[in-house]
Chain A
Amino acid sequence: MSEKPRVGIFGMTSCYGCQLEIINLEENILRLLDHVNISYWRLALETPSDPKNLDIAIIEGSASNQEEIEELREIRQNSKIVITIGACAALGGVQGMRNLMNNERVMSAAYSNLSGVRATEVKAIHEVIKVDYAVRGCPINKEEFAAAILHLLAGTQPPAWNMPVCNECKIKGNECFFERKKPLPHYQSRVCLGPISEAGCGARCPSNGMPCDGCRGWTEDAHVKQWIKEGLERNQTIEDLAMLVHRYSGGTKDSEIAKE
């Protein structure tokens, strides 16, 4: 490689937390910079400069208005590889719940004056443009992100374990939040989304005393209906369960369960 690959990092509708996670790589980010040239990054560069002729575009956030949809199309045209980071980009994110609710009520709860609001239906990035690879999570696991970039630079497929969070949770030796017979403290929900959520985060939440919230989205082989059935047996309401399984994924087409 004569010249370092050119990378652009873009933020759509999101909290910018995933971009912060990249910065949180600390000294390792310098090692990444040995291999790439960041030519556009509004969050971290004094002069974000040039979003054109990119080898890799990294996109955070969901598409939530027309300007973003147009920007995304431009990014796609200007980039060889498009990677999304975070739950918003992969699934629509928390704001995607808006799609599942009464949009008008959500809007008027948020804004007193609706005249300047440009919001459109929330969309995951792959619903707008072709995405080559997604690093999931809310926020992303920075080690996983770094590994994905390094693999792409080495010309190999980024590693994917394709397993539910329970795999990593058991590897960590955590207490399980989903055992049937175990009494849980009153403040904890009696369900954990780990069995149907994609691993890769290192079972971050159960390792820190909370059930999995499903921020990485479902596994390829998620048994969502069975999971809901089990939740109902534990006296959870169907509304609560539907919200849980779609907390992050309202921006994708497979959000039927909540509607059902």
Chain B
Amino acid sequence: MIPRFISQEALKEWVEHLITQFSVYAPVQEKGDYDFAKIAHAEEIAFDFDRTRMSIKGFFLKPEEKLMSASASKGDPVASSPDTSKRIIFGARPCDITALNLTDNVFVKDFYDPYYMKRRQSTIIIGIRCTEKCRTCFCGTMDSNNPLTGYDIMLTEMDTGEILIQAGSDNGEKLFRGSRHLTRQSSEEDQSLILKTFKKITETFTPDIPTTGLKAIIDLGRTEFLWKKYEKICLSCGQCVFVCPTCWCFDVKEIVGADETDFGNLDKTARIRRWASCLYKDYHTVSGGHIFMPTVASRLENYYKHKLRGIPEKFGVWGCVGCGRCVSTCPVGIDIRESLKELTGD
């Protein structure tokens, strides 16, 4: 599709139209922050949002879900089937889309996770490009502000307030098919406007935290000082992991008899999956009581190295997308941007 323009008013009209066909989730203002919620009207959308408190990962890797149930005596496993009715995430930020692309590597390519995959397939993603930095942004540094795939539509607000629509998939194109009257073709005169806006965006998101040499520094082991420093303040609360769009670890447990519809049936078991955090000691504890990473320092080292060394080596992209959610949420003020500067001696 050749990019087209839509006015802010017409965009809302289009969203209203989408709501009649799909469940639409969009950023709303709630409890003093922005969060994705199911909306009934376009008015509910907080268009001035910078980024949401939680990322969109919870739409795909549920914070908590029942994977299957079984009978203790007969076996008879029954996998849960995730809700696959079509839904739209409207207003995904570029960093979150980049994170989702990365997560696909783990849940789709190496090991196929049907729960994640089914939700991914039934979700249409409409991105809104950032034109300004969010409160904790360093996505320019982490090269995540311009995902090339992973969205169905990307919206970019021009200097004039009008919005440029780019389709990223056939599905995205189809979404606009019936609503072309709401949009207008871009003309020759628009070219300079488009260039100007994108130039400004590029300037805004120029990398500003040093990362060159990080691999060598980590491989040389010149990082110990930082973990020792953090160990004195980190609470091991795990929050940085739960808010992070690229943290995907989980824990699985079997529950007996607590089925809501058949409570007390001791023959029924359910397998529950729930977000877990590598900052927890329990996460590194195995049968027999051995703990692979007993200290907070070793766990923080693992967290950082996974994102800054392990994932780049395996997938060719940073394992942190620079959203800064961990910065906002950390109760003791551990700041990955400062960590990067300290590690690279800036």
Residues of chain A at the chain B interface (Cβ within 8 Å): 28, 31-32, 34-35, 143, 146-147, 150-151, 153-154, 156, 159, 161-164, 166-167, 170-176, 178-182, 192, 194-196, 220-221, 223, 226-227, 229-230
B63 to chain A, nearest CB (A): 4
Chain A neighbourhood of B53, CB < 8 A: 175
CA distance A180 to B233 in the complex (A): 14
Judge whether B35 is part of the interface by a CB distance below 8 angstroms. Answer: yes
CA distance A172 to B82 in the complex (A): 19
Are B236 and A221 in contact (CB-based, < 8 A)? Answer: yes
Residues of chain B at the chain A interface (Cβ within 8 Å): 31-33, 35, 53-54, 58, 63-64, 72, 232-239, 242-243, 251, 253-258, 263-264, 266, 274-277, 280-282, 296, 328-333
Are B280 and A162 in contact (CB-based, < 8 A)? Answer: yes
Are B234 and A223 in contact (CB-based, < 8 A)? Answer: yes
B67 to chain A, nearest CB (A): 14
Chain B neighbourhood of A153, CB < 8 A: 257, 266
Minimum CB distance partner of A172 in chain B: B63
Chain A neighbourhood of B296, CB < 8 A: 223
Minimum CB distance partner of A143 in chain B: B258
Q: Which of A153, A176, A181, A192 has the most CB of B within 10 A?
A: A176
Minimum CB distance partner of B241 in chain A: A170
CA distance A34 to B262 in the complex (A): 13
Are B235 and A176 in contact (CB-based, < 8 A)? Answer: no
Chain B neighbourhood of A161, CB < 8 A: 251, 253, 274, 282
Chain A neighbourhood of B332, CB < 8 A: 180, 226, 230
CA distance A240 to B55 in the complex (A): 35
Q: A159-B253, A171-B63, A171-B64 are in contact. Are A150 and B266 (CB under 8 A)?
A: yes
Minimum CB distance partner of A178 in chain B: B331
Are B234 and A226 in contact (CB-based, < 8 A)? Answer: yes
CA distance A166 to B35 in the complex (A): 18
CA distance A154 to B270 in the complex (A): 13
Chain B neighbourhood of A164, CB < 8 A: 235-238, 280
CA distance A196 to B280 in the complex (A): 11
CA distance A171 to B61 in the complex (A): 11
Chain B neighbourhood of A230, CB < 8 A: 233, 235, 331-332
The contact of B237 among A143, A166, A220, by CB within 8 Å, is A166
CA distance A31 to B263 in the complex (A): 7
Chain B neighbourhood of A163, CB < 8 A: 238, 276-277, 280, 282
Chain B neighbourhood of A176, CB < 8 A: 239, 329, 331
Chain A neighbourhood of B282, CB < 8 A: 161-163, 220-221
Going nearest first, the 10 A-B pairs with the smallest beta carbon separation are A31-B264, A195-B237, A170-B242, A150-B257, A162-B282, A171-B63, A175-B31, A221-B281, A195-B235, A178-B331
Chain A neighbourhood of B263, CB < 8 A: 28, 31, 146
A103 to chain B, nearest CB (A): 33
Chain B neighbourhood of A194, CB < 8 A: 237
